[in-house]
Chains A and B, each alone.
Chain A
Amino acid sequence: MNIIWQEANVHTKIFFRERQAVFWGFIFPILLLVLFCSVFGGTPERSTMLVAGLICINVMSGALFATGVVMVAAREQGILRRYKAAPVALWKIITGLLISRLIAITLTTTLLLAMARYFYHILLPTNLVAMIAVFATGALMFCAIAFAVASVARTVAQANGLVQIIFMPMMFLSGATFPSELMPLWMQKVAQILPSSYYVSGLKSVMLTGGGLSDNAVNLAVMGAFILISVGISTRFFRWE
């Protein structure tokens, strides 16, 4: 447990000491919030919908770019190799990294919710347990996907490309930016295979309509399945060097 805590601590430091990471992790989501809500907001309900999408975008980038790509970079630079030579279990390092990222993502989301509540009067989830369950499952899912990408990609360039390929459709098709109802039917069908669709749907449900755990059983189950698949890919393909 000590080692896991140490790794979480170390990776939190590494994260917050990179200006770029802080910009993309904290400043950029706030800029997006102001942009989205002042242009498309209008009513608290519409702002709430936009914020649900923003939370998803923010979790995706925090996981895919700030965890997946960073991990590949550490491998490419030979940093991970030194840890392989030490008597420390891989799962402890990964768990520590995961905890540090979940903390960072949770902080941003809290900040986002607080600002959105204050400036745009969004609705707050009435079922807090459901909100936490949906939020955390989605965050875990994207971290797991990030590790899968990091395990499959051989270079930073490949990882970046791969992340872009999955990030872009998830950002635009899953209802995180545009409401899915506005899209043609075939596009809505495509969106159904994207993990982010279930996250956005879950967030909207708990934030907007007071959805509880049972209302989100399908969303939670599908996200759980994505987590299992990603963990499977990661353990099969992970490389230290």
Chain B
Amino acid sequence: MSNQFAISVRNLTKSYGRVAALKGIDLDVEKGEVFGLLGPNGAGKTTLIEILEGLRKADGGQVSVLGFDPGRELDEIKQRIGIQLQSSSFYRRLTVIEVMRQFHNYYKKRADLEQLLELVALNERRKSYVSDLSGGQKQRLALALALVNDPEIVFLDEPTAGLDAQVRRQLWQAIEQMKRSGKTILLTTHYIEEAERLCDRVCIIDEGLKVVLDTPSKLISGSRTRSARVRLTTLKPLLLAEVNSVTPMEASVNGNATYVLQVDNTGRAIVDLVGAIEKQGNELLELQITRATLEDVFLELTGKEIGK
């Protein structure tokens, strides 16, 4: 296969006993892009990523990573990629810098460790034992190890799973910095927000098959759930039957009245709503408009909620 793409996969299959984890996946990852793999638990994300990393062997199909075949040229690939596994553990009685130096020495091409420590904000913990690190710090150490060889492709399997919001944002910044330095990044995630913010393109897989592959904005605008949601609160209950441009989804009357509405044409709907409120002698207290998210797309395509 050609060297044009960072990663190329054709008709990839993999089974565990009788369970088919991947049922013929095709995809191409461009050089320099952040590519997101999304899917419910058990969709085959980790199997796919681990075949690309050379940790598992495919049953059938072709795989090319930077033009190399993981079956025959695994060492060439390993030298050029960085890996963060879904769960990483290290010998507890080694320090951060010792683990980093150990892995650093396995590679021909080596990144600057001081810069790396800074990137993952572990400078002050460089001499701490792994056993004394918090969950977030361990995750950042795993990320640093994925970068010790200044890799061309970085594989991140749920890089921010189980981290609090602040640590997650720190990691996002680190990933964005990696992207700016020209690396190709392939990540799996459970967090829609993460995919929307970081990924140039997203591939949703479900039950071992590719469901859709596109940019997050195209996925959102192309989906049936193109509609936005309007949430409004009025002083008194509102007669919505008169407003044709909205579809009520939820309503609650508790002193004031609050409605969640689905709308196709946001501008039209707002004009109609405001008109109806005036006509009925009501008063608008609060108005909020949210557009559809990748989460709606995901739900529509897989019938499942992500992360559940």
Chain A: residues with CB nearer than 8 A to chain B? 2-3, 6-7, 10, 13-14, 17-18, 74, 77-79, 81-82, 84-88
Query: Which residues from A are CB-within-8-Å of B98?
Result: 10, 13
Whether B85 pairs with A14 at a CB distance below 8 angstroms is no
- What total count of A-B pairs have CB within 8 Å? 53
Whether A13 pairs with B78 at a CB distance below 8 angstroms is no
Whether A82 pairs with B90 at a CB distance below 8 angstroms is yes
Whether B89 pairs with A77 at a CB distance below 8 angstroms is yes
Main secondary structure of the interface of A (DSSP, over half): helix
Whether A79 pairs with B91 at a CB distance below 8 angstroms is yes
Task: Verify if B264 is at the interface (C-beta below 8 Å from A).
Answer: no
For this complex, 7 residue pairs linking A to B, each with C-beta atoms less than 8 Å apart, are: A2-B105, A10-B98, A14-B93, A18-B93, A82-B90, A87-B79, A88-B106
CB nearest neighbor in A for B88: A82
Whether A79 pairs with B89 at a CB distance below 8 angstroms is yes
Given known contacts A3-B105, A3-B106, A10-B102, A85 and B90 CB-to-CB distance under 8 angstroms: no
What separation, in Å, do the CA atoms of A18 and B103 have in the docked complex?
22
Task: Verify if B212 is at the interface (C-beta below 8 Å from A).
Answer: no
Query: Which residues from B are CB-within-8-Å of A79?
Result: 89-91
Least CB distance, B201 to chain A, in whole angstroms: 25
**Which of A7, A10, A85, A86 has the most chain B CB atoms inside 10 A of its CB?**
A85
What separation, in Å, do the CA atoms of A14 and B90 have in the docked complex?
11
Query: Which residues from A are CB-within-8-Å of B106?
Result: 3, 86-88
CB nearest neighbor in A for B105: A6
Query: Which residues from A are CB-within-8-Å of B75?
Result: 87
CB nearest neighbor in A for B53: A85
Query: Which residues from A are CB-within-8-Å of B287?
Result: none
Whether B102 pairs with A6 at a CB distance below 8 angstroms is yes
Least CB distance, A22 to chain B, in whole angstroms: 11
CB nearest neighbor in B for A92: B106
Q: Convert B248-292 into 0s and 1s, putting 1 for each residue whose CB lies closer than 8 angstroms to a CB of A.
A: 000000000000000000000000000000000000000000000
What separation, in Å, do the CA atoms of A227 and B262 have in the docked complex?
74
Which 5 interchain pairs have the tightest Cβ spacing? A87-B78, A17-B93, A88-B106, A85-B83, A77-B89
Given known contacts A14-B93, A79-B89, A84 and B102 CB-to-CB distance under 8 angstroms: no
Picked from A2, A78, A85, A88, the residue with its CB within 8 Å of the CB of B87 is A78
Query: Which residues from A are CB-within-8-Å of B89?
Result: 77-79, 82
What separation, in Å, do the CA atoms of A14 and B102 have in the docked complex?
13
**Which of A18, A79, A86 has the most chain B CB atoms inside 10 A of its CB?**
A86
Interface residues of B in 43-62 (CB under 8 A from A): 53-55
Whether A87 pairs with B55 at a CB distance below 8 angstroms is no
Least CB distance, A99 to chain B, in whole angstroms: 15
Size category of the B interface is: 20 to 34
What separation, in Å, do the CA atoms of A3 and B102 have in the docked complex?
9
Query: Which residues from A are CB-within-8-Å of B79?
Result: 87
Least CB distance, B175 to chain A, in whole angstroms: 19
Query: Which residues from A are CB-within-8-Å of B103?
Result: 86
Main secondary structure of the interface of B (DSSP, over half): loop
CB nearest neighbor in A for B131: A17
What separation, in Å, do the CA atoms of A86 and B89 have in the docked complex?
14
Q: Convert B84-101 into 0s and 1s, putting 1 for each residue whose CB lies closer than 8 angstroms to a CB of A.
A: 010111110110001000
Task: Verify if B107 is at the interface (C-beta below 8 Å from A).
Answer: yes
Query: Which residues from A are CB-within-8-Å of B83?
Result: 85-86
Whether B91 pairs with A85 at a CB distance below 8 angstroms is no
Least CB distance, A155 to chain B, in whole angstroms: 16
Whether A13 pairs with B93 at a CB distance below 8 angstroms is yes
Task: Verify if B185 is at the interface (C-beta below 8 Å from A).
Answer: no
Whether A85 pairs with B78 at a CB distance below 8 angstroms is yes
CB nearest neighbor in B for A70: B91
Query: Which residues from B are CB-within-8-Å of A17?
Result: 93, 129
Query: Which residues from A are CB-within-8-Å of B90?
Result: 79, 82
Task: Verify if B120 is at the interface (C-beta below 8 Å from A).
Answer: no
Q: Convert B172-212 into 0s and 1s, putting 1 for each residue whose CB lies closer than 8 angstroms to a CB of A.
A: 00000000000000000000000000000000000000000
What separation, in Å, do the CA atoms of A86 and B87 have in the docked complex?
15
Query: Which residues from A are CB-within-8-Å of B94?
Result: 10, 13-14
What separation, in Å, do the CA atoms of A52 and B53 have in the docked complex?
50
Task: Verify if B145 is at the interface (C-beta below 8 Å from A).
Answer: yes
Additional A-B contacts beyond A85-B54, A87-B78 (19; CB < 8 A): A2-B105, A3-B105, A3-B106, A7-B102, A13-B94, A17-B93, A74-B91, A78-B87, A78-B88, A81-B85, A82-B85, A82-B88, A82-B90, A82-B145, A85-B78, A85-B83, A86-B103, A86-B106, A87-B107
Least CB distance, B295 to chain A, in whole angstroms: 31
CB nearest neighbor in A for B80: A87
What separation, in Å, do the CA atoms of A86 and B79 have in the docked complex?
8
